[in-house]
Amino acid sequence: MPGPTAFYRLVCGLLIGLFSITATYGQSVAAGSSHTVAVHTDGSLWAWGLNTYGQLGDGSTTNRTPPVQIGSATTWGVVDQIG
- Report CA torsion sign: 31, 20, 38, 4: negative
Could you give the CA distance from residue 45 to residue 25 in angstroms, rounded to a whole number?
10
Q: Residue 82: is its pLDDT beyond 70?
A: no
Q: For residue 58, what are the contacts with CB-CB under 8 A and spacing of at least 6?
A: 47, 51, 64, 68, 70
Mind giving me the DSSP string for 24-40?
HT-SEEEE-SSEEEEE-
pLDDT digits (tens, 9 = 90+) for 2-58: 555 555 566 656 555 555 555 555 678 787 888 888 888 888 999 989 999 998 999
**H helix or E strand, kind and range, residue 49:** strand 45-49
| pTM reported for the whole predicted model | 0.68
